[in-house]
Amino acid sequence: MNLPTVLIVSSLVGGGSLLGLGSAALAVGMEENAKEKAAIADGWPDASIKRYADLVASYYSEEAVVCPPDDAGMADRAAVRKYLSAGFTVDPSFSVSWRVTEAEISKRGDLGFTRGTYVRAYTGADGKKTVEKGKYVAVWRKGPDGTWKACQDIWNADPK
């Protein structure tokens, strides 16, 4: 089982209304909101390292689609929670870190994405320590309550 590595999720706030602003102000506002989103997402790996499956899963929308490498994927938060719970208990040497390299929020302010790189270390099926580097993309949707939830998440390893 591949442990989830880049579940970039957060209870993001911000991204306020940009309606009625001129195009220059709109671009600046979107840039600042995207920077805020990236900063919060960059600070999130601690929950994963500590194996807090419930907390990690809570940042996904109820209907989230998550596509880990070499896995059929899952299509709801309950399945993500189950996947995380199983994965976090398998390998005590598991570690992960990631870096947001790009973040953007739509002009409407209700959708966004983060993209970046990750490094994951784990013990493979052969008993050897493996260090994997890769990239990810996560799509975010702003809910009616104003919080952001990941609705799509996919990652894969770089070629060796």
pLDDT digits (tens, 9 = 90+) for 120-147: 888 888 889 999 999 999 999 998 988 8
Nearest to 5 by CA among 63, 39, 37, 44: 44
- Given this structure, which CATH class describes domain 23-157? alpha beta
DSSP state of 8: -
Residue indicated by tokens 């790189």: 117
pLDDT tens digits, residue range 74-104?
999 999 999 888 877 778 787 777 888 888 8
CB neighbourhood size of 4 (10 A): 23
pLDDT tens digits, residue range 32-85?
666 555 555 544 566 666 777 888 888 889 999 999 888 899 999 999 999 888
Q: Can you give the residue ranges of every domain in the chain?
A: 23-157
Predicted TM-score (pTM) of the model is 0.72
The residues near 133 (Cβ < 8 Å, ≥ 6 apart) are 117, 118, 119, 120, 157, 158
Residue indicated by tokens 């939830």: 149
Count CA atoms closer than 13 A to 51's CA, side-chain side: 12
Cβ atoms of residues 101 and 117 within 8 Å: yes
